[in-house]
Structure 1
Amino acid sequence: MGELAEKAKVSKRTIDYYTKLGLLKAERSESNYRYYDSSALEDLKLIEHYKKLNYSLDMIKERLELHRKKTAAEEDLILKQANMVAEHMKLLEGEIKDFQDLLGKLDDECKKKILNQFASQTVALLQSLMMFLG
């Protein structure tokens, strides 16, 4: 608790008070000492931030619970985002095929002009895809 208090620049008494209110979560060791995981420091920073905004302790508790749920749900959000990106890629693939068909109807000079507009974006997209695919 002392280490956490020092890092967060609050008193041990403050940490004890927040723990009793349920704002902070503590684990107990076999010798009944309280210890806090790495998220406790982030929680303390959020508590102090909300206090500066004059939030009540009840409001702060609600915000912390929302933040914890949000953190736990990040993996689900990332999976949903990955699915959305995959769907967009499929749609883009169809659009590119349609675009290629249209380009086939143009003369070489016109094709070159249009394709030059895509050069930098294409390189950036390919680099992003290569990073994504590892």
Structure 2
Amino acid sequence: MHIGEIAKLSGLSTRTIDYYTSCGFFPIERSEANYRLYPATVLQTIERIQLLKKQRMSIAEIKQILVTDENLEAELLLKDIQEEFDCLQKKLARLEEHLKDAPTHVKVTIHKTIETRMTSIALLLTLM
């Protein structure tokens, strides 16, 4: 969304949104025409900032809370990924057990399929 859309939906001025952006509260991307583009999640962040401001928190305190919440969310996602990874390892072990007496061509086909998918997963993990 463009800054004008964010301003209209949030009730804030574009100057305030600019200020929050300069504080690092919002991730932005640039369009081909070099306009700032904001994700829809900015509206939720603005709501949180407004609630914290009503509690008379400083910008520095608000930023610390938002960063801490992002870190907590990342830790929870990491835990979910680890659990999912452990589950996949168990499934692979069961698959290997089932394949131990399978013909070679079946094993090769399955191993190639798994290898391709695991390579994609490994690549995603390295990007984190």
* 2:73 maps to amino acid: T
CA distance in 2 between partners of 1:46 and 1:4 (Å): 15
Q: Percent identity?
A: 35
Unaligned runs of 5+ in 1: 83-134
CA distance in 2 between partners of 1:17 and 1:27 (Å): 16
Counterpart of 1:3? 5
Taking only aligned residues, the RMSD between alpha carbons, in angstroms, comes to 2.2
Instruction: Give the alignment's TM-score, normalised by structure 2.
Output: 0.56
Counterpart of 1:35? 37
* Higher RCO structure (Cα 8 Å, ≥6 apart): 2
Match of 1:69 among 54, 68, 71: 71
Distance change >3 Å, CA 81–CA 27, structure 1 → 2: same
Unaligned runs of 5+ in 2: 85-128
Following TM superposition, the consecutive aligned residue runs of length 4 or more in structure 1 with deviations greater than 6 angstroms are none
Map 1:1-134 onto structure 2 (within 5 A): 1-78=3-80
**Cα distance, 1:78 vs structure 2:** 4.0
Q: Return 5-14 or 57-66, whichever deviates more.
A: 5-14
Instruction: Give the alignment's TM-score, normalised by structure 1.
Output: 0.54
CA distance in 1 between partners of 2:69 and 2:82 (Å): 19
Q: How many residues align?
A: 83
